[in-house]
């Protein structure tokens, strides 16, 4: 028998379930990457089995594989041209719905897809909400050529910016550098606190060798936050205010045991 859902998995599941209700038949949607986004793909797969008709642009090879597995039609962004909606997770989200993303190493494709959408909905558990961004390492995708020089330029640029820490590190996968779907490396910036996220994003993207950073500024339109007791809070900038939904989880089994952080 599958194990019961943990409180954190319950929070991710109900957030994904609520966010899946934003999706309507005929939509072209962007699918994010990460553990919470994987719950969303499973929830949408159940709806597709029940007759929902959608086409999806995944933001990583991992998400594409899972989407196909559950019966979702996968297309490229070039085929889609433009999307009705993108739903994705976040590593941190502040009170202005600015985000840090990229813990899974897919923030380049995630940002491209999100900005090619009419709306972006972010799904998260309550622990991802912060007053100020920066406790989670900020990832930047860099080209492999001269990445150490790029790292030095990044560290030099951080000296003049409003951040608490300035430690940078190449992300590894075992004994080798982590490689993104685009064939690039990732530098993780341990900043502690980001005083001016907009300025930091602009400065980082001007450094030669930096492809994209994990700050998502003025991109998120709605935030769906799940809690372990089944509550889901939705903050929609277009509608204003916060709405609440509660799902009964008694007796729920962990039917998605293969989904992990």
Annotated ligand binding at 209? The verdict is no
Q: What torsion do the CA atoms of 112, 116, 119, 120 make, to the nearest 10 degrees?
A: -10
Give the Cα separation of 28 and 230 in Å (integer). Answer: 28
Q: Does the annotation flag 132 for ligand binding?
A: no
| 45 annotated as a binding-site residue | no
34 labelled binding-site residue: yes
Q: Which residues form the catalytic set? A: 110
Was 88 annotated as part of a binding site? yes
Coil, strand or helix: which one is 128? helix
Instruction: Determine if residue 35 is labeled as part of a ligand binding site.
Output: yes
DSSP-assigned states of every residue in 205-240: HTSTTEEEESEE-S---EEEEE-TTSEEEEEETTT-
Q: Is 201 annotated as a binding residue?
A: no
- According to the annotation, is 91 in a ligand binding site? yes
Rounded to the nearest angstrom, the gap between the alpha carbon of residue 82 and the centroid of all alpha carbons in its chain is: 19
**Is residue 86 annotated as involved in ligand binding?**
no
CA atoms within 13 A on the CB side of 13: 22
Q: Is 221 annotated as a binding residue?
A: no
List b or e across 133-153, with b for residues whose CB sees 16 or more CB atoms inside 10 angstroms.
bbbbbbbbbbeeeebeebbeb
- The 3-state DSSP class for residue 176 equals strand
Is 103 labelled as part of a ligand binding site? yes
Q: What are the φ and ψ backbone dihedral angles of 156, each rounded to 5 degrees?
A: -65, -40
Which residues are documented as binding site for substrate? Answer: 33-36, 88-91, 101-104, 128
- Cite the annotated binding site by residue number: 33-36, 88-91, 101-104, 128
């Amino acid at each position: 028998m599958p194990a019961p859902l943990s409180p954190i998995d319950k929070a991710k599941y109900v957030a994904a379930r609520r966010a899946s209700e934003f999706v309507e038949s005929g939509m072209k949607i962007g699918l994010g990457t990460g553990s919470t986004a994987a719950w969303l793909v499973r929830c949408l797969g159940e709806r597709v089995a029940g007759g929902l008709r959608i086409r999806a642009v995944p933001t990583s090879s991992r998400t594409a594989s899972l989407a196909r597995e559950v019966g979702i039609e996968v297309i490229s962004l070039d085929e889609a041209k433009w999307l009705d909606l993108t739903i994705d997770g976040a590593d941190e989200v502040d009170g202005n719905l600015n985000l840090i993303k990229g813990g899974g190493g897919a923030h380049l494709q995630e940002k491209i897809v999100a900005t090619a959408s009419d709306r972006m909905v972010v799904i998260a558990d309550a622990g991802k909400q912060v007053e100020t961004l920066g406790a989670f390492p900020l990832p930047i995708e860099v080209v492999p050529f001269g990445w150490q020089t790029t790292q030095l330029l990044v560290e030099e640029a951080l000296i003049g910016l409003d951040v608490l820490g300035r430690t940078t590190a190449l992300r590894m996968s075992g004994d080798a550098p982590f490689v993104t779907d685009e064939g690039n490396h990732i530098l993780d910036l341990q900043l502690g606190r980001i005083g001016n996220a907009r300025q930091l994003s602009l400065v980082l993207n001007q450094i030669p060798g930096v492809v994209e950073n994990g700050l998502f500024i003025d991109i998120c339109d709605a935030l769906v936050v799940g809690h372990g007791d089944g509550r889901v809070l939705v903050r929609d900038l277009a509608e204003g205010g916060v709405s609440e939904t509660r799902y009964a989880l008694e007796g729920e089994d962990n039917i998605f045991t293969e989904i992990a952080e």
